[in-house]
Amino acid sequence: MEGGSKRPARSWSVYDLAVLGMMVALMEVSKRALDFLPNIELISFLTIVFTLFYGWKTLAAVYAFVAFECFYFGFGTWSIAYLYVWPLLVCLVMATRKIGRRRALFYALLSGAFGLSFGFLCSLYTLVTFGPATQFAWWVSGIPYDIVHCLGNFGICLVLFAPVTRLMDRLTRSLGRGRA
């Protein structure tokens, strides 16, 4: 390239596509396995770990997860929220990667805060479509579920973060792939 000011976009390799498929499969299987528990999920934790290892490419996995959810449950108003709420978590992790330096407590707190704010974030589209009174009522009625979501996210991340990131380090090293 002339001038050297623009870098060519990094293309997706067969390895990247295989990893993407595995990320989405893990997200879906974990979601189905924990469906019987209200607001207890591994998606937040997996999104954090995948973002730490694969960077912005995790957005593709998140959007594929959202697409599978829509096809599985049908399209609804929640679908709109999922299009911005889950990618927001990727953005938060990308913005804090240097601060968190892969510390379990830091990401457990981030995951817990994400769970606590999940209902509010999901209610934002109702502000535009139905007005502030509906948005506020919708958000407040879900606060007990957000508290459960917060505690679940915090506990899962605190317990699983260190062993899973060690495993991911070993896997990426053995495949000759570094972190994003």
What phi and psi, each to the nearest 5 degrees, are found at residue 159? -80, -40
Class in CATH terms, 14-174: mainly alpha
Alpha-carbon gap, residue 126 to 134, rounded angstroms: 7
Alpha-carbon gap, residue 146 to 144, rounded angstroms: 5
Alpha-carbon gap, residue 103 to 161, rounded angstroms: 8
| Average pLDDT of the chain to the nearest whole number | 91
Q: What is the pLDDT of residue 81?
A: 92
Comparison of pLDDT for 30 and 173, the residue scoring more: 30
Chain-centroid distance, C-alpha 153 = 11
Distances (CA, A) of 35 to 65, 77, 171: 15, 19, 28
DSSP summary character for residue 36: T
Contact 57, 37 (CB under 8 A): no
Does the pLDDT of residue 5 top 70, yes or no?
Answer: no
What does the block give as tokens for 99? 């601060």
Distances (CA, A) of 121 to 61, 157, 175: 20, 20, 37
Instruction: Report pTM.
Output: 0.90
What digits encode the pLDDT tens for the residues 126-162?
888 899 999 999 999 999 999 999 999 999 999 999 9
Percent of the chain with pLDDT over 90: 77
Question: Is the Cα torsion angle 124, 125, 131, 133 positive or negative in sign?
Answer: negative
Does the pLDDT of residue 1 top 50, yes or no?
Answer: no
